């Protein structure tokens, strides 16, 4: 009976495909020795670059849209880098597609009922509410981040007689900054994680004397450590796909509990203070965070935890990793670094003689800086793959038949992955220099479906404006504080590592030269 039911379903699907004039996509061969071996191969991929080698080669060999079929020729998983198909999946026919089941499995037991992995009316309502809060708080909170920027400068450390800092890893420092900025924004108070990273005990002691003490820890792991454990497990679980359960265990579950305890503790404290802060919450100088607004609007602590945890998981480290790529590229392109610094100093003045406020409206008018950010997000879209599962039998506009021009029928339940990293490097859309860093390509260019670092359509990233503001603010402040940047001989800042996000594999190791009051119009220059 079971076999008959499968045969009926296949027939029904074939009829649907014919009625839509579809043809099958190029079929991927079944993985040698099965999918588990294939997944373990990805997990243990020996060096090199998984994105540029394994994935890119597959698209070169099997075309821009290809599929793994079952024995009846019905697609189970479709991979695409065709912007027309990606626009259909994420945007035009978004209602036919639900969030990727693989993502929910990867993150289980975290992030099950917030924004990332839910859909329907409650997702819609939650999303609207979060966006409203993000937009009302964005402008003032980026200025509140000045304290976090000062901690960053302290963590970068003192300079020698020539004004140069010691060698620092900007990836590490920006990750901590990102955590500090996101806690400032979400919770109204910075985690001050920069302090725990400072090796100089005297500096730390001095900071603590001023009351800048890192937050209370809820169990064996600190929040930062628990997040690192969870991130590693997420990376393994995402590569293992349906065999995600292989990467599980006490260590992972304990880290998940620490993150939940951390959120619960913060919510409890926000609930205790909520009756007394209602009036001041919306004042322009309010130091309270998004969590306080959610406590007043929602009330239910579990609901609040689901939303806050999603924002932490989805947003944590994104801004920091992005900023690290920006500085890696600026170090590699000293001429562009000079242009960005000139633009910032001209617009905002120096630290000693500021000229304009670092608001989003002012920051977005720095064209060179914005083009550098857009180009960096093109080359390193952080979330290399965006996945979906079909909610009904549906159609992709292109990729079927011998020449790939026919539509493809997709059955309910099939998975699709949109490889955004490779879409951003398609020569058809970006030209022969698609693999090169060229901010000037953005002059006068409009956004199309070939550019989706924040996704697109109804599930587009809720943190994109916040991230763009934070990154712009950070670049501007770094340009005001330092005048030059160089990497040690032999350091490679541009090699990619691919875990949950695409990040610089070897860190971004540089020395920076402190700007002097006279370096207002001097530019950062290469001095190896
Ligand atoms: C450079 C920084 C960032 C990048 C490149 C980025 C990228 C993305 C992408 C590609 C998606 C779409 C995923 C999909 O369609 O399935 C997404 C969704 C999301 N992002 Fe971001 N993100 C960034 C920063 C942030 C920040 C700072 C936050 C939190 C404040 C955040 C919160 C979210 C959430 C909650 C979603 C899910 C939205 C939904 O499904 O309704 N992101 N992000």
pLDDT tens for each residue of 269-286: 888 877 666 666 565 556
Ligand 1: nearest atom to the Cα of 103? 16
For residues 390 and 443, state if they share a domain. no
Q: Is the CB of 307 under 6 A from ligand 1?
A: no
The CB of 181 under 6 Å from ligand 1? The reply is no
For residue 309, the surrounding DSSP H or E stretch is helix 301-315
Q: What's the whole-number mean pLDDT along residues 163-167?
A: 96
Q: What is the mean pLDDT of residues 93-99?
A: 96
Q: With bands split at pLDDT 50, 70 and 90, how would you rate the model's confidence at 163?
A: very high
Binding site membership of 314 for ligand 1 (Cβ less than 6 Å): yes
Q: What are the pLDDT digits (tens) for 2-53?
A: 566 666 778 888 999 999 999 999 999 876 656 665 666 666 666 558 888 8
* Ligand 1 center from residue 224 Cα (angstroms): 20
Task: Give the pLDDT of residue 42.
Answer: 65
3-state secondary structure at position 357? coil
Going by the DSSP 8-state scheme, the letter that residue 228 receives in this structure is H
302 and 341 in a single domain? The answer is no
CATH code, 516: 1.10.630.10
Helix and strand numbers, DSSP H then E, in the chain: 21, 13
The reported pLDDT for the residue numbered 522 is: 45
Angle between helices 290-297 and 170-187 (to 10 degrees): 30
- Residue 57 located in a structural domain: yes
- 453 with 508, same domain: the answer is yes
Domain residue limits at 64: 2-86+382-423
Q: Considering only CA atoms, which residue is closest to atom 29 of ligand 1?
A: 315
Q: Judge whether residue 1 has pLDDT over 60.
A: no
Q: Is residue 99 part of a domain?
A: no
| Claim to verify: residue 324 and residue 310 sit in the same structural domain | no
54-68, 140-154, 439-453: which range is least confident on average? 140-154
In the chain, the number of structural domains is 3
Do the annotations mark residue 461 as ligand-binding? yes
pTM for this model (two decimals): 0.89
Task: Dig out the tokens for 107 from the structure.
Answer: 């993150």
240 and 387 in a common domain: no
What's residue 197's pLDDT? 63
Collapse the DSSP code of 236 into the 3-class scheme (helix H, G, I; strand E, B; otherwise coil) and give the result.
helix
The SS3 assignment for 145 reads coil
Decide if 410 contacts 395 (C-beta within 8 A).
Answer: yes
For ligand 1, say whether the CB of 318 is within 6 Å of any of its atoms.
yes
∠ CA 303-305-308, nearest 5°, is 110
Does the C-beta of 461 come closer than 6 Å to ligand 1?
yes
Residues 358 and 289 in one domain: no
Q: What is the ipTM of this complex?
A: 0.99
Lowest model confidence (mean pLDDT) among 139-148, 414-423, 449-458, 481-490:
139-148
- Residues 6+ away with beta carbon under 8 Å from 494: 328, 329, 332, 504
294 lines ligand 1 (CB under 6 A): no
Residue 80, strand partner residues = 65, 418
Mean predicted lDDT score pLDDT of the chain? 86
Q: How many Cβ atoms from other residues are within 10 Å of residue 245's Cβ? A: 10
Domain endpoint, select from 285, 315, 345: 315
Ligand 1 centre and the CA of 99: distance in Å? 13
Distance 279 CA to ligand 1 centre (A): 31
Q: Does 136 map to a domain?
A: yes
User: Is residue 190 situated within a structural domain?
Assistant: yes
User: Is 198 found in the same domain as 244?
Assistant: yes
Which of 315, 343, 369 delimits the end of a domain? Answer: 315
Residue 260, both tokens? 């939940």
How far CA 11 is from CA of 141, 142, 389, in Å, comes to: 57, 57, 21
Mean pLDDT of 253-274: 87
**How much distance in Å is there from the Cα of 316 to the middle of ligand 1?**
10
pLDDT value at residue 520: 53
pLDDT tens per residue across span 404-439: 999 999 999 999 999 999 999 999 999 999 999 999
The protein residue whose alpha carbon is closest to atom 18 in ligand 1 is: 461
Residue 210 has pLDDT above 50, yes or no: no
Residue 277, pLDDT score:
62
pLDDT score recorded for residue 425:
97
Which residue has a Cα nearest atom 39 of ligand 1?
459
**Ligand 1 atom showing the smallest separation from residue 457 Cα:** 15
Within the chain, what is the greatest distance between any pair of CA atoms?
84
Give the pair of three-digit tokens for residue 235: 């990376």
Phi, psi dihedral angles at 214 (to 5 degrees): -60, 150
With respect to residue 24, please indicate whether it lies within any of the assigned structural domains: yes
- With tokens 């991927």, the residue in question is 28
Would 198 be classed as within a structural domain? yes
Distance (Å, whole) CA 381 – CA 163: 34
Is residue 109 reached through a cis peptide bond, with omega within 30 degrees of 0 on the bond before it? yes
If we measure between CA atoms, which residue out of 480, 407, 510 comes closest to residue 89?
A: 407
Per-residue pLDDT, 5: 65
Are residues 227 and 296 both part of a single domain? yes
Instruction: Report how far residue 83's alpha carbon sits from residue 418's, in angstroms, rounded to the nearest whole number.
Output: 9
More confident residue, 163 or 117: 163
Q: Say what the pLDDT of residue 236 is.
A: 87
Query: What CA–CA distance (Å, rounded) separates 523 from 194?
Result: 28
364: its two tokens? 């977005």
304 and 400 part of one domain: no
More reliable by pLDDT, 75 or 520: 75
Residue at which a domain ends, from 315, 331, 347: 315
Q: Indicate whether 202 pLDDT > 60.
A: no
Residue 208: pLDDT band by 50, 70, 90 thresholds? Answer: very low
Domain assignment present for residue 38? The answer is yes
Residue pair 117/98 in contact by the 8 Å Cβ criterion: no
Residue 114 domain-assigned?
no
Question: Which has more pLDDT, 269 or 162?
Answer: 162
373 lines ligand 1 (CB under 6 A): no
Q: Is the CB of 234 under 6 A from ligand 1?
A: no
Same domain, 362 and 389: no
Is residue 350 within 8 A of residue 523, CB to CB? The reply is no
Average pLDDT rounded to a whole number, residues 130-159: 81
Q: Looking at the structure, tell me whether residues 267 and 294 fall in a common domain.
A: yes
Q: Same structural domain for residues 473 and 327? A: yes
DSSP-derived pairing of the beta strands 415-419 and 75-80: parallel
């Amino acid at each position: 009976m079971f076999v008959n039911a499968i045969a009926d379903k296949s027939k029904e699907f074939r009829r649907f495909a014919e009625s839509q004039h579809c043809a099958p996509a190029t079929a991927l061969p079944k993985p040698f020795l099965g999918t588990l071996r294939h997944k373990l191969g990805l997990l243990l991929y020996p060096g090199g670059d998984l994105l540029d080698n394994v994935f890119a080669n597959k698209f070169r060999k099997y075309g821009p849209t290809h599929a793994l079929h079952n024995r009846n020729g019905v697609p189970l998983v479709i991979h695409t880098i065709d912007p027309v198909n990606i626009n259909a999946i994420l945007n035009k026919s978004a209602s036919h597609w639900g969030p990727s089941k693989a993502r929910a499995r990867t993150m289980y037991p975290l992030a099950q009922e917030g924004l990332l992995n839910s859909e329907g009316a409650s997702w819609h309502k939650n999303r609207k509410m979060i966006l409203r809060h993000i937009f009302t708080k964005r402008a003032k909170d980026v200025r509140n981040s000045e304290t976090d920027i000062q901690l960053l400068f302290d963590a970068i450390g003192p300079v020698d007689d020539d004004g140069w800092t010691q060698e620092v890893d900007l990836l590490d420092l920006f990750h901590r900054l990102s955590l500090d900025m996101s806690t400032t924004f979400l919770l109204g108070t910075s985690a001050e994680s920069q302090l725990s990273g400072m090796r100089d005990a005297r500096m730390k002691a001095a900071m603590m004397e001023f009351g800048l003490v890192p937050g209370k820890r809820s169990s064996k792991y600190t929040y930062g450590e628990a997040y690192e454990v969870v991130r590693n497990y997420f990376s393994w679980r995402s590569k293992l796909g349906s065999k995600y359960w292989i990467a599980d265990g006490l260590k992972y579950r304990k880290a998940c509990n620490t993150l939940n305890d951390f959120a619960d503790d913060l919510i409890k404290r926000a609930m205790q203070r909520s009756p007394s802060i209602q009036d001041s919450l919306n004042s322009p100088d309010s130091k309270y965070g998004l969590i306080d607004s959610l406590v007043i609007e929602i009330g239910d602590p579990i609901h609040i935890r689901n939303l806050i945890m999603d924002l932490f998981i989805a947003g944590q480290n994104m801004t920091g990793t992005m900023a690290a790529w920006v500085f890696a590229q600026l170090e590699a392109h000293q001429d562009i670094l000079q242009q960005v610094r000139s633009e910032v100093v001209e617009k905002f003045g120096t630290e000693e003689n500021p000229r304009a406020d670092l608001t989003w409206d002012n920051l977005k008018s720095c064209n060179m800086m914005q083009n550098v950010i857009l180009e960096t997000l093109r080359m390193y879209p952080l979330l290399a793959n965006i996945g979906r599962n079909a909610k009904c039998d549906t159609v992709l506009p292109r990729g079927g038949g011998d020449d790939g021009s026919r539509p493809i029928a997709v059955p309910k339940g099939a998975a699709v992955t949109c490889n955004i990293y490779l879409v951003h490097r398609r020569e058809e859309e970006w030209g022969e220099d698609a693999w090169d860093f060229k901010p000037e390509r953005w002059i006068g260019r409009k956004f199309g479906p070939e550019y989706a670092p924040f996704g697109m359509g109804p599930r587009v990233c809720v943190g994109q404006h916040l991230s763009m503001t934070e990154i712009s603010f950070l670049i501007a402040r770094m340009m005001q504080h330092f005048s030059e940047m160089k990497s040690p001989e032999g350091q490679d800042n541009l090699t990619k590592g691919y875990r949950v996000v695409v990040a610089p594999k070897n860190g971004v190791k540089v020395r920076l030269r402190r700007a002097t009051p006279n370096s207002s119009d001097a530019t950062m220059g290469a001095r190896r």
